[in-house]
Structure 1
Amino acid sequence: MTPARILPRPLPDRWRARLPGAGLWLLLCVPPATAFNELSGRELWGTALAFPLLGICVLLRGRRPLVSLALPLAASLVLSLELFTPAYCLALALFGYLSGVRLPRARPALRLVAAVALAGLPLSALFGRSLWPWFSLLMTLLLNVVLPWLLGRYRRQYGALVRTGWQLAEQLEREQHVVADRTRLRERARIAGDMHDSLGHDLALIALRAGALEIDPRLDADRRAAAGELRAAAGAATERLREIIGVLRTDDEAPPRTPSGESVPALVEDARSAGMTVTLEQAREAGRDGTGGGAEDPEDAEAAADAGDIGGGGLPAMTGHALHRVVQESLTNAAKHAPGAAVRVRLVRAAGHLRLTVVNGPRPEGPTPEAVSGGSGLVGLDERVRLAGGTLHTGPTPEGGFRVSARLPTTGGTPPSPTGRHADTAARRELERVRHEVRRRLRQTVVVPLVVITALYLLMGVFTLVSPSWTVLDRGRYDTLRTGMPRAASESALPFFALDAPPDGTPSPPHGWSCVYYSVRPGSDSAYQLCFADDRLVRKTVVHRRD
C-alpha cells in the first residue's frame, strides 16, 4: 500500500484577509530595521517604537486612514525637526497615498498637513534656533506627504470615472434590449395616428352627408330619422376610433403613409362631394427672373387642379406627407366644428418653399351638434410639419373662423426645426462631471507642488538675504561670556537665531559637546563658536572658513 498523501489545509478566510496587511507591515519595517544599528539615544528609542507603531497604522489604514497618517507624522516630528527620518520616510509616503485614495473629502487631510506645517515653525525657532529646519520640514511635507496624497486623490477620482463609465455602459446595454420593442411601439403609434386621421376624415364626411340627408325635405320622416341616426353613429365611431386605435396592423404589413391618389385637389373634391363648400386656390410667386403668375380666380380652381397640382409635383416625401396631412386635418376640423361654413384652401409655391393656408368661416347659427375633440390633432400636425423642416401656425380669425397656415420646404435635406429638448441625460452629466474632476485632480497633482516649491524657494531666498543680520553676535556680549558659565546664563546674551551650519572646514566638536555658531558680522566668513557640555560653556572661539 502506498501511504496516503497529506494535503495542506487551506487557510481560513480571516487569516487570508490579513495576509496583505502583514506583508505591508513587513515592508514598512525594512527602513527602521536597516537604520536601527546606527542610532543612539532618543533616535534609537524613536526608531524602536516604529515597529509597533507601524503595525497600528496598518490596522487602521482602512477605517481610519487619517489616523494612520498622523501617527508617523508625529513620530517623525519628534525625531527630527526636518521631518525626514529613515524610519518613517516610506510610511509617510504610503499612508499619504492611502489617505488620498480612501478619504472621501480633502479638508481633513489638508487640515492635518497645515497643522504640522504651522507647528514646525515655532518648534524650529525654539529648538533649532533657525528657520532652515522649518524650510526642510515644508519640503519634506510637500514631496513625501502631499504629493503622494494628491496622487491618491487622482487615483480615487479616476476610479470613480471608471465606475461611472461602466455603470453608463451597463445602463445602455440594458436599454438596448428594449430599443427594438420601443421602436416598434413608436412606429405603431405613428401608424395609428395616420389611420385615425384618414378614417376620421372619412367618417367626418359621412356624418356631413348624413346631416344633409337629415334636413332634406324630399325625404319622409323615417328616412330623415335614419339619416340622423347615421350621422350620430358616424360621430360616435370617430370618437371610439380615437380610443381603440391601439389595434394596428401586423409587423409584416407595410401600410402607405398617404392613400394613393389623394392629392390636395382630390381631398378638396371629396369634401365638395360630401356637401362642403370648399374653394381651392393655387398660385406661383414670381421668381428672380420675373416669371410666374399671381393667384388664380376661385372659379378657375378646378381648371388649375386639372392642369396639375403645383403642390404635388417634385416635392420631398416628408413635405408631401405633411401637405396632405395639413389639408386633411383642416378639412376634418372644419366639418366637425363648423359644419356648413365655407372653407378656402390657398396653395402658393415659391422658390424653395410652399405656403399653405386653410381658412374656414364662423360656425353657422342654429342648433348644431357639439363636436368632441381629443385635442391632439393640431399637436400632431405641428410635429409632422416640424419633421418636414417647416413651421405651422394656427389660430382663430377676426371674423370668428379658424386659420391653419404652414410653410414647407420644396427641397430635400432640410433639417427639422429645434424643439427645445436636450439629448443630455443624468448619466452623461454625471460622467462629464467625473471627467472634469479627474482633469482637475491631474492639474492639481502637477501644478500644486510646482507652485508650492516655487513659493518656498522664494521664501528661502528672502530669508537668506535677511537672516545674516539676525545671527550676528555683538563683540561686547561675546567678551562677557566665560567658560564654565551655565548654559542658561550664557544664552541670555546670545541672539535668538543661530547659524544653521558652521563655516566650511570647521572641525567637528568632541563627542558629547553641542556647539552653536553666530556671525561675527553680516557676510563674514568667520563665526563665533560656543560649545556646551553638561549644560555649561566649555569653549568659546572664532572659527574661519577653510577651503
Structure 2
Amino acid sequence: MRGANGWLPRLFDIGLWLVVCAPPASAALRLDERDAVVAALAVPLLGGAVAFSRRRPLAALAAPVALSLTTDPEMLTPVYWAALALFGYLAGSRTVAVRPALWFCGTVAAAGLVLCAVVSSDLWGWPSMLLTLLIAVVLPWLLGRYRRQYADLMATGWRLAERMEHEQQAVADRTRIRERARIAGDMHDSLGHDLTLIAVQAGALEVDPTLDARQQAAVGELREAAGAATERLREIIGVLRADDEVPPRAPSEESAEAVVERARASGVDVTLERSGATDDPPPMVGLAVHRVLQESLTNAAKHAPGAGVRVRIARDGDALRLTVESDPAPAGRLPGVASGGSGLVGLDERVRLAGGTLRAEPTDDGGFAVTAELPAAGAAPRTAGPPRPTTSARELELARRRIRRRLLQAVVAPLAVLAGILLLMIPVSLVSSSLSVLDREVYAGLTAGEPRGAVESRLPRFTRDGPPDGAPAAPRGQECAYYSTGLMSSDGYRLCFADGRLVSKSVVGEGGDKNEGEGEGEGEGEGEGEGD
C-alpha cells in the first residue's frame, strides 16, 4: 500500500513533466533568440507546476498560460497546447469549487485583452485568444470536472448501496420484531379474552350456594389468579406493542357466532342479531369486526359481570355497523377484573386502519355501547400521510440533480462562451475600425522610401483585420499593413514595407480603382519618383 500511495503518484508526475516539457525543450533549439529563452525557462517552470498541481491545480495551470501569453498574446503557440490541455484537465478533476476556475478564466481573458491592445496592437487577436482559451483550457477543464463528478457519483453510489444494505438489514430486524409484537398482541387479545371468561365463570361459582366454604374460597382464589394473570399479561405483552403497529394480513377464521357462543358458554348473557348481507366482509373489515366484538365482550365481562349484552351486526348499503351494548351491572355481583384502559384505544386504531370509525360511550340507562361503522366493500387503510423518503433516497435524488445540472453546464458553458465570443466580435469590429482609420492627409503625405519608423509614427496604433475584400495579393518579399479609409468604408489603404522602408502605398478594395484614380497623380508620381 505504501508503494501504491507513494511511488505511483510520483511516477505519474514525472511522466507528466516529461510530456509537457518535451515540446518547449525541442522548440528551444530551433526558435529565435527571445522565444528560445522563454522555451528554455519553460522546462523548470513546468516542473514546478507539476510539483504544485496536486495542492494548487489552478496555480499550476497558470504556468503554461503565462508562458503561452508571453510567447503570443493570441496563445496560438502549439508548443504549450499539450501543457494547457493536461493542466486544464487536472485542474477540473482536482478542484471542487467552480468559482475559482471562473475567476481564473476571467482574469486570463482580461489579461489577453490588455496584451492584444498594448503589445500586439491588434484587437482582433483577442477573439482568437478567447477561442484558444476555450478549446485548449476550458474544454479539458470540463472533461476533468466530468471525470471527478463521475468518480464522486460512483463513490456515492457505493456508499448508498452499503447504507441501503444496512437499512435493509435494519428493516428486516424491525419486521421480525413487529411480527413478534403482533403475535404477542394477538396472544394478549385472545388469552386476555379467555382469562376474563375464566374469571367470570369462577366468579359465578364463588357465589354458588351448593359449594361449601372451602370450595368457594378455592374458586375465589382462582378468580383472583385469573385477574392477576390478565393484568400481568397486559403489562408484559403490552410493552411489545409498537406505536405504528399494523394489523395482521388475514383475519381470524372464527366467526361472530363462535365468539358469542364461547362467551355465552362462559356465563355471559349475550344475544346476536344480524341484518343484511354481513356474512362475507372484506378481510380488513372482517378482522376489525372480530377484534371489536371480542374486545367488547371482554370489557363487558370485566366491568359489568352478569349484565346482559346485545350484539347487532347490520349492513346498510355500503356501510357495515357493529353494535355491542351491555346493560348496567346487577347489584350485589362481584367486582370485575381490573383493566389497563388501552383496549378501546387499540380498537379505535384497528377500525381506523380498516377505513372506519369507532364510537364508545355510556348509554342512558347506565350501560355501555361500542359502535363500529366500517365500509362493507372495503377501503384503503387510512394513513397519517405519505411516507417520508429515506436518507438514501434523498441523497440519491440530490446526486441525480447535481449530475443533471453539471451535465447541462458542461454542454451549455462552451456554447455560451462561444456565443459570447461571437457577440464580442461586433464591438471589437467597431472599435478596431474606428481606431484603424488613416487620415487622408496623412496618407497623402507618406512618401515611398521613408524609413519604417518614421512612417509608423504617423500611422494609427491599430490596423485593419486583414485586407479588404477584392484587394490584390501582397507583392512578394514585402510586408503590407492595411488601414481603413473611413469608419464604414469597405476600402482600405495598403502600405507595403521592405528592408525597413516604405516601398509602395495604394488604395485597395472593391472601390479601390476609383479611389486610386482620385489620388493617382500624387500616389503614382511618388511611386515612380522613388522607383527612378
What interval of TM-score do these two structures reach, taking the shorter chain for normalisation? Answer: 0.7 to 0.9
Q: Distance in 2 between matches of 1:459 and 1:445?
A: 22
- Counterpart secondary structure, 2:75: coil
Q: What's the TM-score, normalizing by structure 1?
A: 0.75
| Alpha-carbon spacing, 1:278–1:142, altered in 2? closer, same or farther (3 Å) | farther
Structure 1 residue 338 displacement after superposition: 5.7
Aligned to 1:391: 356
Aligned to 2:526: none
Aligned to 1:150: 142
Aligned to 2:345: 378
2:223 equivalent among 207, 216, 231: 231
Q: Distance in 2 between matches of 1:463 and 1:71?
A: 28
2:187 equivalent among 183, 191, 195: 195
Aligned to 2:105: 113
Aligned to 1:332: 298
Q: What's the TM-score, normalizing by structure 2?
A: 0.77
The equivalences for 1:237-248 within 5 A come to 237-245=229-237
Are residues 1:524 and 2:490 paired? yes
Q: Distance in 1 between matches of 2:286 and 2:297?
A: 17
Structure 1 residue 395 displacement after superposition: 5.0
| Alpha-carbon spacing, 1:13–1:476, altered in 2? closer, same or farther (3 Å) | same
Q: Distance in 2 between matches of 1:283 and 1:502?
A: 105
**Number of positions where the alignment pairs a residue of Structure 1 with one of Structure 2:** 492
The equivalences for 1:275-424 within 5 A come to 275-276=267-268, 278-284=270-276, 310-311=277-278, 313-336=279-302, 343-350=309-316, 354-359=320-325, 371-373=338-340, 375=342, 378-379=345-346, 382-383=349-350, 386=353, 389-394=354-359, 396=361, 401=368, 403-410=370-377, 415-422=380-387, 424=389
| Alpha-carbon spacing, 1:162–1:129, altered in 2? closer, same or farther (3 Å) | same
8 Å Cα contact 1:395/1:404 also seen in 2: yes
* Cα deviation 1:364-409 (Å, max 9, x = unaligned): 99995783427376347635763xx533434546868564414144
* Cα deviation 1:442-464 (Å, max 9, x = unaligned): 22111221122123213324543
8 Å Cα contact 2:73/2:115 also seen in 1: yes
Structure 1 residue 236 displacement after superposition: 1.7
2:414 equivalent among 430, 434, 449: 449
Q: Distance in 2 between matches of 1:365 and 1:41?
A: 124
* Cα deviation 1:63-122 (Å, max 9, x = unaligned): 221211122222222222212321221121222122221112111111111111222223
Structure 1 residue 245 displacement after superposition: 4.5
Q: Distance in 2 between matches of 1:156 and 1:231?
A: 75
* Cα deviation 1:228-279 (Å, max 9, x = unaligned): 544332222112223444999xxxxxx997776x421232333344454545
8 Å Cα contact 1:481/1:490 also seen in 2: no
8 Å Cα contact 2:495/2:505 also seen in 1: yes
| Alpha-carbon spacing, 1:368–1:524, altered in 2? closer, same or farther (3 Å) | same
Structure 1 residue 158 displacement after superposition: 1.8
Q: Percent identity?
A: 49
1:123 equivalent among 112, 115, 138: 115
8 Å Cα contact 2:27/2:36 also seen in 1: no
Amino acid at match of 2:372: S
Are residues 1:96 and 2:64 paired? no
Aligned to 1:506: 474
1:83 equivalent among 75, 97, 109: 75
- Counterpart secondary structure, 2:489: coil
| Alpha-carbon spacing, 1:320–1:497, altered in 2? closer, same or farther (3 Å) | same
Task: Return the structure number with greater helix share.
Answer: 2
Bigger drift between 86-95 and 397-406 goes to 397-406
Structure 1 residue 430 displacement after superposition: 0.9
Q: Distance in 2 between matches of 1:361 and 1:161?
A: 69
8 Å Cα contact 1:214/1:227 also seen in 2: yes
Query: Tell me, which stretches of 5 or more residues in structure 1 are unaligned?
Result: 1-10, 249-254, 285-309
| Alpha-carbon spacing, 1:530–1:256, altered in 2? closer, same or farther (3 Å) | closer
